[in-house]
Structure 1
Amino acid sequence: MMKPILLPILAATAAATDLLLPLYQYPANNGGAWSPIEQAMTANPSLTFKVIINPNNGPGGPGQGIDDPQYAAGTKALASHPNAQLIGYVHTSTDWGATRCNVPWPSITADIKRWATWPARGVAIKGIFIDEAPVNTANDCVAYMRNLTTFLRTDPDVVRAFGTNKPIIVFNPGGVGALQPYYDLQPDLIVALETCFVVPARAGGGGTYDDQCSPAGGYERYDHDGVGSSLDNVVFPSVGRANAARTAVLVHGFHDFNGPAANMSATVGVLGQLIRGVVQRKIGATFFNTAGYHTFTDGPASIGAAASALRAANGA
């Protein structure tokens, strides 16, 4: 009798969703203001924290950034965690979004080269976050972003700074649009949706919260038609599900009520549902926060709660 041949069973390994944290908070108290982020890193060792460092809409000039003892202490402390990837901030717009890709080439490349000096000074910068990235092909933005991406991958000073590892490259258009030409440039992530949870009547106005969403801004109220609805109805019809792994979604203003269609209030339980919806759709990175990007301890979406929920969703 022939014995059956037992074939090995290969376990499918799903790529995890990372946490992409825009850290625009000053690291006061010798970097101690960032201790809640460090605590979240320690409590969730399987979760990758991609942390965007932004001293002054970029690396900052003399006396700022790594020259500031507070930033030197804070960034070194974050970088000491094995699940941390620090990413430096630059932007492409001189008028903050009205015209993309118009920062002069010498200016934006000088900022990138300043970031490239940080590893030699004790801070392991792993990549570059390009804010105010384009949402369409106007103003010859495809050529601008192609040249910028090539510069990051081939400039001798930048390559030397990142060593054998290619720099992580993140584009932040902040919204959907004609993004496929930018996905074709093969960045690691594109932030295809940066929006808020809170109802528009509260967004950006009053209270103690820094929502950063204006009532007149036309923002998508995140998942107001149910868990996953913003991805299914807004993001994927524009960028396509095939780009999910290189897509990031950032949500702030996670407080109060999110409209009658979803009938959801901002609770830790709802936070977990929304984050599971992101992970189930194989999105590459996400972040949920109750306030803006200058404080991370407000509940219910504190950095600890958001990181814990994301780690749990990845492991589900």
Structure 2
Amino acid sequence: MRGFPSLVAQAARAAGWLRLLPLLLLLLLVAQPSAARTDVMVPLYVYPGSQSYTNPNWQAAVDAIKANPGLHFYIIVNPNNGPLNTSDPSGLNEGYCNVANDSYIEHGCNRDWTTHLATINELPNAQTLGYVWTRYGARAVGDIKADIAEWAAWETAPTWEDGQSVNITIHGLWFDEVGTGSGNYSVYSELTSYANETFAAAAKTRKKKKDKNVAYSVVLNAGSVPNATYEAQLFDMASAVVTKETCFTSDPAASGVEGDCPEPYEPFDYTALTAGNGLPHDEAYNSRAVIIVHQFVGPPNATTATLQEQIDGVVSLGVHSTYFTSGSYHNTTAEPATVGNVGEMVRIATGANATSAAPRLGFGEQHGGSSWMSWTAAFVVFWSLYSFC
């Protein structure tokens, strides 16, 4: 009978552990990597509208973002093949900004842009990226850095309303026409390093002003898979890399299609995406690869069902983000691949929550992986268990 107290104590401890079983399960869950997800990458290369009018292609993007609050949208804005010629007080600016002195603003292109850009920045699941063209490493580095600095300077600006100042912050960069060979390493390493320094400094300033949205992304549009020997270096420079940009149609010379389909051309089909052909050589980078498909028109038969099949297939590969359009890159309203349909189909394919906003990602963060918040929660649970026992 002398062992009875010991048995009672053991039973009590066992019962205690049973009561703590839910906490143990929580510990295991929060420490697991989060599921990979696919976001939407929208090249919104359109003029937004005016004081009293909104371009339908711009409005369609805004509506899609609002309709899918659990899905993250990257919105690439491109006023003038980049942001420059937007800060010229000497007279009429060149290009699409084209404003007179009496309506000149220091940053933000013009008041049409500031008015409509602020609408997107108000949406918690939208992240604006500024367009920067690089001409496959041939454009002057000084000119590219000037674009980067200008984008980073977009913070607040006036609209057409007297006394109104709105948020026009750009939350990252989209480098277009990125070279895919190792000979391009030095120039893109210099440019992305400068981009990180510039945007990190701007984010630090905004943080001091109590702005919570200080994360930013750097996306490189290579349009194809980089050379195997260069792949790791290129991905290490960026939040994401476009490894496939092409068309769906099998008739790239058709009227309205000609010029949109990069050569050498093969009509898009997700089943043809393999390591080194549309996807990175190393599948570890799939979660940071971007797939862009233009001209989702026939032939073959470009139906809504086919679009859903293709989007389901792309999402199943675990890529960073994707976009389909039934027109040129800037067309968001052509059926069936409208930005609204694409947003809904990506949401369904990913199982994204239909009601809660997706967080904005910062540079260096990747889809999947355990967040510091998960591990913090795990530590709290573990310490509670340790103290109890």
TM-score by length of 2: 0.69
Question: Which residue of structure 1 aligns with residue 369 of structure 2?
Answer: none
Aligned residues: 291
Question: Which residue of structure 2 aligns with residue 289 of structure 1?
Answer: 325
| Distance (whole Å) between structure 2 residues aligned to residue 184 and residue 77 of structure 1 | 31
The Cα of 1:117 is off from its aligned counterpart by 1.3
Mark the structure with the bigger radius of gyration: 2
Structure 1 stretches of 4+ with a deviation exceeding 3 A read 1-7, 163-166, 181-184
| Distance (whole Å) between structure 2 residues aligned to residue 32 and residue 210 of structure 1 | 28
1:229 paired residue among 272, 286, 300 = 272
* Cα distance change on mapping 1:257 and 1:205 into 2, 3 Å: closer
Question: Which residue of structure 1 aligns with residue 168 of structure 2?
Answer: 123
Unaligned runs of 5+ in 1: 94-99, 259-264
Contact 1:191 1:250 in 2 (8 A): yes
1:72 paired residue among 111, 114, 128 = 114
The Cα of 1:294 is off from its aligned counterpart by 2.4
Q: Which amino acid aligns with 2:130?
A: G
Instruction: Please give the per-residue CA displacement for 1:37-73, whole angstroms capped at 9, x wherever unaligned.
Output: 1111111001111011111211131342823222122
Matched, 1:20 2:41: yes
Contact 1:149 1:185 in 2 (8 A): no
Matched, 1:143 2:192: no
Local SS of the residue matching 2:273:
helix
Question: Which residue of structure 2 aligns with residue 87 of structure 1?
Answer: 129
| Distance (whole Å) between structure 1 residues aligned to residue 73 and residue 235 of structure 2 | 25
Which of the two has greater helix per residue? 2
| Distance (whole Å) between structure 2 residues aligned to residue 195 and residue 304 of structure 1 | 20
Question: Which residue of structure 2 aligns with residue 161 of structure 1?
Answer: 202
Contact 1:18 1:285 in 2 (8 A): yes
Q: Which amino acid aligns with 1:212?
A: D
Q: Which amino acid aligns with 1:46?
A: G
Greater shift, 292-301 or 67-76, is seen at: 67-76
Q: Which amino acid aligns with 1:25?
A: V
| Distance (whole Å) between structure 2 residues aligned to residue 39 and residue 211 of structure 1 | 29
| Distance (whole Å) between structure 2 residues aligned to residue 55 and residue 292 of structure 1 | 17
Matched, 1:212 2:260: yes
Unaligned runs of 5+ in 2: 1-10, 87-92, 98-106, 158-166, 208-213, 353-389
Q: Which amino acid aligns with 1:143?
A: S
1:104 paired residue among 140, 150, 158 = 140
RMSD: 2.3
| Distance (whole Å) between structure 1 residues aligned to residue 145 and residue 131 of structure 2 | 12
Listed as ranges, the matches of 1:290-309 within 5 Å are: 290-309=326-345
Q: Which amino acid aligns with 2:200?
A: V
Contact 1:210 1:253 in 2 (8 A): no
Question: Which residue of structure 2 aligns with residue 8 of structure 1?
Answer: 25
1:185 paired residue among 236, 242, 254 = 236
Matched, 1:172 2:221: yes
Question: Which residue of structure 2 aligns with residue 36 of structure 1?
Answer: 60
The Cα of 1:87 is off from its aligned counterpart by 0.3
The Cα of 1:28 is off from its aligned counterpart by 2.2
| Distance (whole Å) between structure 2 residues aligned to residue 183 and residue 115 of structure 1 | 22
| Distance (whole Å) between structure 1 residues aligned to residue 82 and residue 202 of structure 2 | 17
The Cα of 1:184 is off from its aligned counterpart by 4.6
| Distance (whole Å) between structure 1 residues aligned to residue 150 and residue 235 of structure 2 | 27
Q: Which amino acid aligns with 2:320?
A: G
Q: Which amino acid aligns with 1:295?
A: N
Local SS of the residue matching 1:60:
coil
Question: Which residue of structure 1 aligns with residue 85 of structure 2?
Answer: 61
Question: Which residue of structure 2 aligns with residue 97 of structure 1?
Answer: none
2:245 paired residue among 166, 190, 194 = 194
The Cα of 1:204 is off from its aligned counterpart by 4.6
* Cα distance change on mapping 1:311 and 1:210 into 2, 3 Å: farther
TM-score by length of 1: 0.85
Identity percentage of aligned residues: 30
